[in-house]
Amino acid sequence: MDKSTFYMTNGLLWMWPTHLVNMTTNAMMLVGRPTEKIFGSAALQLVTKDAAKKAELSSISRQAMREYTYMVSSIGDGLKSALEAFRRGDSILTPHNSEYFNSSSTGIAADALNWKPVNSVWDVVENAWTSATWQNIVGLPTRTIGGADEFFKLLRYRSVVQSRAYVKAVEKGLNPQETKAYIEKSLNKAIDPASGQALDQTALLEAQTTTFQQDLNYATTIGGSLGRGIQNLRKSAPITALILPFVKTPVNVLRYGIKMTPGLNLAQKEYRQMLSGQMGAEAKAHAMGQMAIGSLFASFVAHQTLNGTITGAGPKDQKLKQELMATGWRPYSFVSTDAEGNKQYLQFSRFDPVATAMGLVADVVEMYQKDPERDYSDVALAISIAMAKNLGKRRSSRISTQR
């Protein structure tokens, strides 16, 4: 069973579009997380009268803007960490926690590659030759994605630690030289010198959130965590791995897509806790930023759907849908028209979590277009119908594109 899971899981990830989507999504999150804080803290400052809270929000905004600088300066370290994670077959920041390196997901744990120090091109060739075992070749996709995730995770982790230290140094009134030393000291405290493991749990959670690798221990309105329940099912019944090769990543992607969808996000308990301030001022800024950016984004998607440049799920009737697809039409796509009037479709369904929000908005707009006389006063009903279509039809089209 472990070998079957190993072969199937890596087989699903072998094609290059999967890796491109993973890199693109992580890059979007890397840029998007600080942007959320900037938008959210700015909005909260406009409605907050308490001077102390305004000062705290101002610090959050300064930290978010500084994060971009430290992300760029950490690229070199990120590449080194990604290569080392690839070699070890395990995450450096969070050992035994990454879904792409964990044997509970892939079936077989990746072995460390015994590479010799590289001093010439021949050393590279020798390392590649000695590592070219059947298991290493088959497991290349998960090892590669795991290394790529480590790159983005390290960039986010270091940027959060360093930017937080920078803001504190400025508030202490330190001069530039003292500030630099303070930031360096804070970063050294946040990373284990022997193993490279992350020691700052707050910054680590942010890094994991950026790559959708946070634990599924979130709060729910009714019952326990569905994601955790699925994980437990995977452990107790390994055969389910053939149906659900990954759990943590898709669940976190879906939940983040919900956070970015105005209206629907209020149904999520974790989001409501963030928005109410129960999880701290920074989490509240994220929630407010997600609402603001999500609203702007939803307006744009609705406008483009009305103009016909974005498609939703399409007809409910499968015969009509097949006839439409025979003309070249595709669900959940950007539509462009060339000089001769021919339409090209570029599907966005794989670019989650943004695709989830886009798909839901496009489906709601299409419902209004197809049946404008229907009473849609119950917005929650319209969203729930759209979400059912989105999670069903869009996921099936996403699976088909991977094959």
pLDDT over 90 for what percent of the chain? 43
Q: What is the pLDDT of residue 73?
A: 94
Are residues 170 and 183 in contact, defined by beta-carbon separation less than 8 angstroms?
Answer: no
Out of 10-19, 129-138, 160-169, give the one with best mean pLDDT. Answer: 160-169
Q: Classify the C-alpha dihedral 109-114-118-120 as positive or negative.
A: negative
Quick one: which of 359, 344, 364 has its CA closest to 395? 359
Q: Is the pLDDT of residue 392 over 60?
A: no
Instruction: Give the C-alpha separation, 399 to 396, whole Å.
Output: 5
Instruction: Give the C-alpha separation, 165 to 334, whole Å.
Output: 42
Task: Count Cα neighbours of 3 within 13 Å in the Cβ-side half-sphere.
Answer: 2
pLDDT over 70 for what percent of the chain? 86
pLDDT per residue as tens digits for the range 311-355: 988 888 888 888 888 888 888 899 998 888 888 998 887 777 788
Enumerate residues 6+ apart whose C-beta is below 8 A from 141: 10, 12, 13, 14, 18, 19
DSSP labels for 137-190? HHTHHHHHHHHHHHHHHHHHHHHHHHHHHHHHHHHHT--HHHHHHHHHHHHHHH
pLDDT per residue as tens digits for the range 367-382: 777 766 665 554 455 5
pLDDT per residue as tens digits for the range 161-208: 999 999 999 999 999 999 999 999 999 999 999 999 999 999 999 999
What burial letters (b/e) apply to 152-170, b meaning 16+ CB within 10 Å?
A: bbbbbbbbbbbbbbbbbbe
